[in-house]
């Protein structure tokens, strides 16, 4: 039997529509806080059973508080990011590294881009019983490192003692329960080429604030083709780096990958711009 949305789903949808039209701008609570709080039951329906609804909602509200620019974004894109992250069983927060809401201005309109973090992807893969392990590491210039693709492919990495020098490459190794193994390697130049192609801003955003994490995510996604496709992985692949519009769990998400909008968009302040100390101090008040 399929889940039936409760009455709060319709109320939340109406509130999103009003917020989009500016009908509740005079309320003392920020518009998006109203939407999130009214949608708590709907968010709970999207979450896996083992996750706490109240904690998840508090984390979302903390994101809104730490990053006021999110309050200027379209309610549909915020709710889309929230519901998708809930369905994936991930949580927001720069200290967790699982999922991010990135506000940006494109063609005069504020939207939220959902980014699944490197640790979020590892969380999804850890649930797959066919995978024994996934490891992603960086290679420094003084390390001993060699690899080859082909019929006798191999990869060896011996970490240098003492000062290792600058990072020159990243690699990902996927080991399966049946003994199979695959790996992918990307040089620093290849990672930076990818960054220049897909990063929305050179001044701020995940590639500036969390370069190492984004580099590891990039080589991991290159190795993703060797992984079994589960429902969670398929949803993450469909929505990662997109603008997701969705108001209720039962609605089919609409994902926008308008490259012109993304590449020309202006990144605005994110929670990752703040220090880890400030994040922990303020987040502790909410959790």
pLDDT at residue 208, rounded to an integer: 78
pLDDT at residue 109, rounded to an integer: 87
Q: What is the pLDDT of residues 196-230, one digit of tens each?
A: 887 765 666 678 778 898 899 999 999 988 888 89
Single out the residue of 217, 231, 243 nearest to residue 87, CA to CA: 231
Give the list of residues 6+ apart from residue 2 with CB closer than 8 angstroms, or none.
none
% pLDDT > 70, the chain: 77
Q: Is residue 263 pLDDT above 80, yes or no? A: no
Helix (H/G/I), strand (E/B), else coil: 8: helix
Give the list of residues 6+ apart from residue 185 with CB closer than 8 angstroms, or none.
147, 155, 169, 170, 171, 219
Phi/psi at 189 (5° precision): -60, -40
Q: Which residue has the higher pLDDT, 154 or 267?
A: 154
Span 241-249, average pLDDT: 87
Q: Quick one: tokens of 55?
A: 């904690």
pTM across the whole model: 0.74
Q: Which residue has the higher pLDDT, 231 or 275?
A: 231
Q: Which residue has the higher pLDDT, 121 or 263?
A: 121
């Amino acid at each position: 039997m399929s889940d039936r949305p409760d009455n709060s789903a319709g109320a939340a949808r109406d509130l999103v529509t009003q917020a989009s039209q500016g009908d509740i701008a005079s309320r003392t609570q920020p518009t998006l806080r109203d939407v999130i709080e009214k949608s708590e039951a709907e968010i709970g329906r999207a979450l896996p059973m083992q996750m706490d609804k109240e904690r998840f909602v508090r984390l979302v509200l903390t994101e809104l508080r730490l990053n006021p620019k999110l309050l200027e974004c379209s309610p549909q894109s915020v709710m889309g990011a929230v519901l998708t992250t809930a369905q994936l069983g991930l949580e927001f927060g720069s200290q967790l590294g699982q999922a991010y809401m990135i506000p940006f201005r494109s063609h005069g309109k504020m939207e939220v881009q959902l980014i699944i973090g490197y640790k979020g992807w590892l969380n999804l893969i850890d649930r797959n019983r066919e995978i024994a392990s996934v490891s992603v590491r960086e290679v420094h210039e003084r390390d001993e490192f060699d690899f080859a693709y082909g019929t006798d492919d191999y990869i060896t990495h011996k970490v240098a003692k003492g000062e290792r020098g600058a990072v020159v490459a990243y690699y990902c190794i996927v080991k399966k329960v049946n003994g199979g193994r695959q790996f992918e390697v990307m040089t620093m130049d290849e990672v930076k080429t990818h960054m220049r192609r897909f990063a929305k801003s050179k001044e701020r955003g995940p590639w500036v604030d969390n370069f190492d994490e984004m580099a590891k995510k990039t080589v991991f996604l290159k190795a993703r083709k060797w992984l079994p496709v589960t429902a969670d992985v398929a949803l993450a692949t469909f929505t990662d780096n997109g603008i997701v519009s969705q108001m209720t769990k039962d609605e089919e998400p609409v994902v926008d990958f308008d490259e012109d909008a993304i590449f020309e968009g202006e990144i605005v302040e994110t929670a990752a711009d703040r220090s880890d100390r400030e994040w922990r101090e303020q987040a502790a008040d909410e959790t």
